[in-house]
A and B are shown apart, each in its own frame.
Chain A
Amino acid sequence: DIQMTQSPSTLSASVGDRVTITCRASQSISSWLAWYQQKPGKAPKLLIYKASSLESGVPSRFSGSGSGTEFTLTISSLQPDDFATYYCQKYNTYRALTFGGGTKVEIK
């Protein structure tokens, strides 16, 4: 099975900072990668699909890049509403829609 590894697990940053989160797949998944944002007590929200496509209504400060086995989620200028936990997920096959372990973005 393909494993998804996110880093870092926790990130401390300030409003206005540029933030980058990395997700690595143990085998190539082409561009079949999504990023989600989750706030405490809430369901996850889709941010990015197909590695770099922005979901409708998501602010343009969010961007995704990568293909194959290495992917990044970048927040160009961190806003107060962005403090949350972020997850990557592979979806190259319905047999295992595996998530990464998550990255919590905290206030510095």
Chain B
Amino acid sequence: EVQLVESGGGLVQPGGSLRLSCAASGFTFSSYWMSWVRQAPGKGLEWVADIKQDESEKYYVDSVKGRFTISRDNAKNSLYLQMNSLRAEDTAVYYCARPVTAYGMDVWGQGTTVTVSS
């Protein structure tokens, strides 16, 4: 079964850091781009970042540039999101997803919740 499972969410103070993980299974992880998408409470979906198979290309939404870093470990079938200098507006459910050329995002995790509050 193709599956993505996120972990690492939690409560963090403004200015703090958090590292999210996404464990992939059921497909050849190293063959796919991967993405992070977030959803603030009561709001819509927002693409956050994505990363190419070999990490040679990484892209971010403007609001997280310089604060968030996407990475992956193909040997561990894992995707990561290092989040630094967190702000209240980063509070959201964070999903990892598999974007496929010509298909869109065909596989999603269940999400992990990040709350930035003092």
B-contacting residues of A (Cβ < 8 Å)? 32, 34, 36, 38, 43-46, 49-50, 55, 85, 87, 89, 91, 94-102
Contact = CB atoms under 8 A, between A and B. Distances in A.
Contact of A94 (B33, B45, B109, B111): B33
Contacts of B1: none
A101 B69 CA distance: 25
Interface of B is mostly: strand
B47 A43 contact: no
A96 B45 CA distance: 13
A90 B78 CA distance: 25
Given A43-B109, A44-B45, A102-B45, A97 B103 contact: no
B44 interface: yes
Interface in B34-71: 35, 37, 44-47, 50, 52, 57, 59, 61
A49 B104 contact: yes
A97 to B, nearest CB: 4
5 contacts: A38-B45, A44-B108, A87-B45, A97-B50, A97-B105
Contact of B45 (A46, A91, A99): A99
* Most chain A CB inside 10 Å of its own CB: which residue of B95, B101, B103, B105: B105
